[in-house]
Structure 1
Amino acid sequence: MDKRTFLKSLGIAVSSIPAWSFAQEEIIETIAAQKQLLARLLYPGDTIGLIAPAGVIDTEESIVMTREIFQAFGFQVKEGKHIRSRYGNLAGKDEERLADIHSMFADQEVKGIICIRGGAGASRLLPQIDYQLIANNPKVLLGYSDITALIMAFYKKTGLISFHGAVGISTWSNSVAKNFENQFFLNQSTQFANPTDKGDNFIQYKERITTLRSGQAEGILLGGNLTLLSGLCGSAYLPDFKNAILFLEEVDENIERVDRMFCQLKLAGILDQIKGFVFGKCTDCGPAGGYGSLTLEQVLNDYIKPLGVPAYSGAMIGHIANQFILPVGAHVKMDADKGTITLLQQVLKD
Structure 2
Amino acid sequence: MVKALRLRKNDKIGIISPSNPITEDLVPQFNKGIDFLKKLGFEVVVAKNALSITLGYSATPEEKAEDINAMFKDPSIKAIICSQGGATANICLSLLDWEAIKKNPKIFLGISDITVLLNAIYAETGLITFHGNDVMWGFGRELKPYDKQEFIDRFVNGKIGLINNSGERATIRGGTVEGKLLGGNLGCLLKLAGTTYFPNFEESILFLESYGFSPEGSYCNFVQLEQMGVFDKVKGIIVGYIYDEYADQRRVHMEDILEKATSKYHLPILKVNDFGHNCPNTVIPVGAKVKLNADEKTIEILEECITF
TM-score by length of 1: 0.82
Distance in 2, Cα, partners of 1:48 & 1:297: 36
1:34-183 correspondence to structure 2 within 5 Å = 36-58=1-23, 59-87=26-54, 90-169=57-136, 170=138, 171=141, 172-183=143-154
Fraction of identical pairs, as percent:
34
TM-score by length of 2: 0.92
How much does 1:285 deviate? 6.2
In structure 1, runs of 5+ residues without a counterpart are 1-35, 196-206
Distance in 1, Cα, partners of 2:266 & 2:289: 21
Secondary structure of the residue aligned to 1:305 is coil
Residue 309 (structure 1) aligned to one of 267, 270, 287: 267
1:131-280 correspondence to structure 2 within 5 Å = 131-169=98-136, 170=138, 171=141, 172-195=143-166, 207-280=167-240
Cα pair 1:40 1:348 within 8 Å, conserved: yes
One-letter code aligned to 1:51: I
Distance in 1, Cα, partners of 2:244 & 2:57: 23
Distance in 2, Cα, partners of 1:71 & 1:55: 23
Structure 1 pair 314/188, CA: closer, same or farther in 2 (3 Å)?
closer
Distance in 2, Cα, partners of 1:179 & 1:104: 24
Cα pair 1:54 1:90 within 8 Å, conserved: no
Distance in 1, Cα, partners of 2:147 & 2:168: 19
One-letter code aligned to 1:210: A
Superposed structure 1 runs of 4+ greater than 3 Å apart: 87-91, 292-295
How much does 1:317 deviate? 1.7
In structure 2, runs of 5+ residues without a counterpart are none
Structure 1 pair 83/272, CA: closer, same or farther in 2 (3 Å)?
same
How many residue pairs align between the two structures? 300
Query: Residue by residue, what CA displacement relative to the aligned partner does 1:140-174 show, whole Å, maximum 9, x if unpaired?
Result: 00111111111111111100000000001113322
Distance in 2, Cα, partners of 1:118 & 1:238: 19
For the aligned residue pairs, the C-alpha RMSD in angstroms reads 1.8
Cα pair 1:173 1:321 within 8 Å, conserved: no
Structure 1 pair 323/116, CA: closer, same or farther in 2 (3 Å)?
same
Cα pair 2:111 2:131 within 8 Å, conserved: yes
Cα pair 1:193 1:315 within 8 Å, conserved: no
Distance in 1, Cα, partners of 2:177 & 2:272: 18
Distance in 2, Cα, partners of 1:45 & 1:222: 31
Query: Residue by residue, what CA displacement relative to the aligned partner does 1:112-136 show, whole Å, maximum 9, x if unpaired?
Result: 0011101110111111111011011
One-letter code aligned to 1:266: E
One-letter code aligned to 1:190: G
How much does 1:190 deviate? 2.2
One-letter code aligned to 1:80: A
Structure 1 pair 52/340, CA: closer, same or farther in 2 (3 Å)?
same
Structure 1 pair 184/155, CA: closer, same or farther in 2 (3 Å)?
same
